[in-house]
């Protein structure tokens, strides 16, 4: 075993022990706004700042709210109290160390024994592992709101199956905006009919979040690849049925059958109005027979497990 715990010596005199408890407690309150409480709950509360995938904005807001570090803060190891942007940020390991030191104070001891050391290290490893596992899982799972589902249905109805019929997201800004003016209002009206947010429609499609979300969340079914003219998106040929089932299932969770039918049929009607413009871009690949099957799958109450056969 190491002769330190998160950089802290295993033996502390009573004065140093009291000082470190005070520093760590003060740092915890500065970060979280409340005194230290239950260790497990406190560690869970640190996820927005330290967990894998934590938003930089949240981290920066927390750091900017910290007081300027003082000379006393620098007595503690950086693994427990990290110096950052002029402040001192208590880490998950620092919160675990504080729990160990508080245990020492209550017991009247001044030395961390092997069992305490092992337990603290296991707690830190388990926490970081859980955060990493959650992040990994989230890369393949996530919710899709109405606009990305509209973009997904557009790909299906447009027959964007396989590389040969891929939907091309142009790299040229002018062409991208022109295509966006054709396609994005379709997605926006679909979302509005479902009661979802109405996305921005004045920009292009290549960087529009409705399309990027589809390939991010459903990447097993939808490919997004660089191409000569920009970026291509297409449904993988062997995943077409699975993709349709996934979209239908997510729509069923999002809206009742009546709103869903209105939104889907409205999307198809709108698509028929812009087919000529898409064809002018070389981007129209619809198979009307396939479109009828898509409508039946996502909008027919007899295929809806929530409809109860009525």
Q: Consecutive 10-residue runs of the chain (310 residues): their mean pLDDT?
A: 89 94 96 95 94 85 92 94 94 97 93 94 95 78 83 96 95 93 94 86 88 90 91 94 92 88 94 94 94 86 43
pLDDT for position 139: 65
C-alpha torsion 192→212→169→220, nearest 10: -110
**Cα separation, 272 vs 222, whole angstroms:** 23
Judge whether 199 and 209 are in contact, CB under 8 Å.
yes
pLDDT for position 142: 65
Whether this prediction's pTM lies above 0.85 is answered by: no
Region of residue 7 (phi > 0: left; psi between -120 and 50: alpha; otherwise: beta): left
pLDDT for position 208: 93
**Cα separation, 221 vs 309, whole angstroms:** 29
pLDDT for position 304: 45
């Amino acid at each position: 075993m190491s002769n330190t715990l998160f950089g802290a010596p295993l033996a502390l005199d009573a004065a140093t022990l009291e000082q470190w408890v005070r520093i760590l407690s003060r740092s915890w309150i500065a970060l979280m706004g409340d005194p230290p409480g239950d260790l497990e709950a406190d560690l869970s509360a640190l996820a927005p700042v330290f967990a894998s995938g934590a938003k930089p904005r949240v981290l920066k807001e927390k750091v900017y709210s910290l007081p300027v570090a003082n000379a006393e803060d620098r007595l503690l190891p950086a693994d427990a109290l990290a110096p950052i942007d002029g402040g001192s940020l208590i880490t998950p390991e620092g919160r675990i160390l504080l729990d160990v030191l508080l245990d020492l104070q209550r017991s009247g001891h001044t030395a961390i024994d092997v069992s305490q050391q092992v337990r603290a290290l296991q707690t830190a490893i388990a926490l970081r592992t859980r955060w990493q596992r959650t992040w990994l899982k989230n890369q393949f799972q996530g919710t899709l709101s109405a606009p990305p589902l509209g973009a997904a249905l557009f790909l299906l109805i447009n027959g964007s199956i396989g590389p040969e019929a891929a939907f091309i997201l142009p790299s040229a800004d002018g062409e991208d905006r022109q295509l966006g003016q054709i396609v994005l209002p379709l997605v926006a009206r679909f979302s509005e009919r479902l009661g979802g947010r109405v996305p921005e429609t004045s920009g292009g499609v290549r960087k529009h979040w409705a399309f990027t979300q589809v390939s991010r969340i459903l990447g097993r079914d939808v490919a997004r690849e660089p191409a000569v003219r920009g970026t291509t998106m297409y449904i993988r040929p062997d995943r077409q049925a699975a993709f349709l089932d996934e979209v239908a299932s997510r729509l069923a969770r999002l809206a009742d059958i009546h709103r869903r039918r209105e939104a889907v049929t409205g999307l198809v009607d709108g698509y028929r109005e812009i087919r000529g413009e898409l064809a002018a871009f070389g981007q129209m690949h619809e198979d009307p027979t396939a479109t009828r099957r898509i409508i039946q799958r996502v909008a027919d109450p007899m295929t809806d497990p929530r409809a109860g056969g009525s």
